[in-house]
Structure 1
Amino acid sequence: MSLLTLSLITLVLVLAGLVKGVTAMGLPTLGMGLLSLMMPPAEAAALLIAPTIVTNVVQFAAGPRVVPVLRRFWPLGLTTFLGTLVGGAGFGGLESHLAPAVLGGTLLLYGVMGLGRFHVQTPIGLQPWLSPVMGMASGLLTGTTGVTVMPAAPYLQSLGLHREDLVQAMGLAFSMGSLGLIVALSVKGAPLASGPALLATGAALIPAFAGMEIGRRVRVAISQQAFRTCFFAGLALLGANTLVRAVAW
């Protein structure tokens, strides 16, 4: 690997961590989108495994309402895990030729929804059966793209949760998707436990957490809305570029 490629990967990890620090999500979303411009989606997902799962577990476990959030959203977490296994091991996973197109479409849709401030209020009576459905759908996309965003994040945002509950619920869903992705990649034969793979994903923690600390400081210095606008616009453009490249190929 050239010094230029290594520097670009480090920059991507810092940037993805920065977004995570500001918005409590986006590390694998932005990381997968940018790293997939330099390497196959399966390799990008393997590199992001440690930063993604560690930051998400911390996001869930460090909050003030672990037990209530777990009691309410365990079906969402469980079906996200199971859906990731099905998508990753049963539908071709990240090795599928459809993975880049699905990733691009996911990023584009999520970016447009964020820019349009698309918001739906989910009635409380629908949550018991809708949570498992959203979890399974999110898992299927996670197994195919390496990103646990759609439709979990918009769904959780539609519940009108307290900010801390929302952050922890996203941490739970994202963590379960990451765990499922580890199992799915292992089943597909990805050398996640090899020395080089562990060294690479472990080393990725350093720039990712550095970026998170920068993001925490940026969060108190600029308008949250201004940053979110830039974030969603960037995701939409990145998704469009990835989708066009996948279709053209």
Structure 2
Amino acid sequence: MLGDALPHYLLVCLIFFAAGAVKGVVGLGLPTVAMGLLGLFMTVPQAAALLTVPSLATNLWQATAGPHLVQLIARLWRMQVAVVAGTVSTAALFPWQDDGMASRFLGACLILYAGSGLAGWRLPAANGRWAALTGVAAGAATGGVTAVTGVFVLPAVPYLQSMGLTKDELAQALGMSFTTSTLAMGIVLIARDELTAAASLQSFAVLLPALGGMLAGQALRRTMSEAVFRRCLFWGLLMLGAWLALR
């Protein structure tokens, strides 16, 4: 039994190490890369449950590693509430039934995300009275995508990138938003009996590879051009998304 399971476990560990390395370099991408690769050989709910602990740990680390957290909470709390509401309500209205459809939707999201990154596209900044409403809309939409695919980059990442935050503020804002999405997804998985005790133990088992990858990525970030890495990442996600959408 153990011998049969070991190659599968090592493959999953390698995926989480790679996903953690991506996050270490660019500050995001762990759930996107992990869900995309895990989706090649397991269902979306299974992959989302496996992602819970590594995602929560790495995002809490990112959210709290800096002096801007209190300021960002005051600025983005409405968006975070909308993320939770969007995730829970979408999960209640559209339960997982057709995993093939969920995988194809995940592929489409990866294609959209990678295409926007390669094109250098950014949302225009919202000003004045529209800023709060735009944040709520972005949070609710992110929650909806999260509930269906287990990936929470769209449209949260483009929205946060449009806010004119400094590099360090953006890193913490991404960590905070991803932490909220992970917790909201955890609520959904528990309600659906997908995040069982066994699934939680399996998720803990891939925490160290994810953290090791994140540390390696942070070290790599100091020795290479982030722009080059981001282009490689986006091309990789584009091909992965196309495979998931068309298979």
Q: TM-score, normalised by structure 1?
A: 0.94
Matched residues, number: 243
SS, match of residue 223 in structure 2: coil
What is the distance in 1 between the residues matched to 2:62 and 2:91?
24
Q: Which residue of 1 aligns with 2:132?
A: 128
Matching residue's letter, 1:37:
L
How has the CA–CA distance of structure 1 residues 141 and 239 changed in structure 2, closer, same or farther, with 3 Å as cutoff? same
2:40 aligned partner, one-letter code: L
Aligned to 2:181: 177
Q: State the 4+ residue runs in structure 1 displaced beyond 6 angstroms.
A: none
Residue 52 of structure 1 corresponds to 55
Give the one of 31, 34, 38 matched to 1:35.
38
| Amino acid aligned to 2:177 | A
- Please list, as runs of the form range in 1=range in 2, the aligned pairs for 1:1-80 lying within 5 A after superposition: 1-80=4-83
* Inter-partner Cα distance in structure 2 for 1:79 and 1:93: 21
Asked if residue 149 in structure 1 is aligned to residue 153 in structure 2, the reply is yes
Q: Shift of the alpha carbon at 1:97?
A: 4.5
- Contact persistence 2:126–2:134 (CA under 8 A): no
| Residue in 2 that maps onto 1:234 | 236
CA offset digits 1:150-209 (Å, max 9, x no partner): 00001111111111111111112111111111111111121x241x22221111111000
Change in 2 beyond 3 A, CA 1:20/1:94? farther
Unaligned runs of 5+ in 2: none
The answer on whether the counterparts of 2:111 and 2:238 sit within 8 Å (CA) in structure 1 is: yes
- Give the SS at the match of 1:149: coil
2:232 & 2:148 partners in 1: Cα distance? Answer: 26
Of 191, 209, 220, the residue aligned with 1:187 is 191
Q: Pick closer, same or farther for the CA change 1:6–1:75 going to 2, 3 Å.
A: same
Q: Percent identity?
A: 38
The answer on whether the counterparts of 1:75 and 1:131 sit within 8 Å (CA) in structure 2 is yes
CA offset digits 1:44-87 (Å, max 9, x no partner): 11011000011112211222111110000001111111111122
What RMSD, in angstroms, separates the aligned Cα atoms of the two structures? 1.4
Distance in 1 (alpha carbons) for counterparts of 2:220 and 2:53:
24
Matched AA of 1:65: H
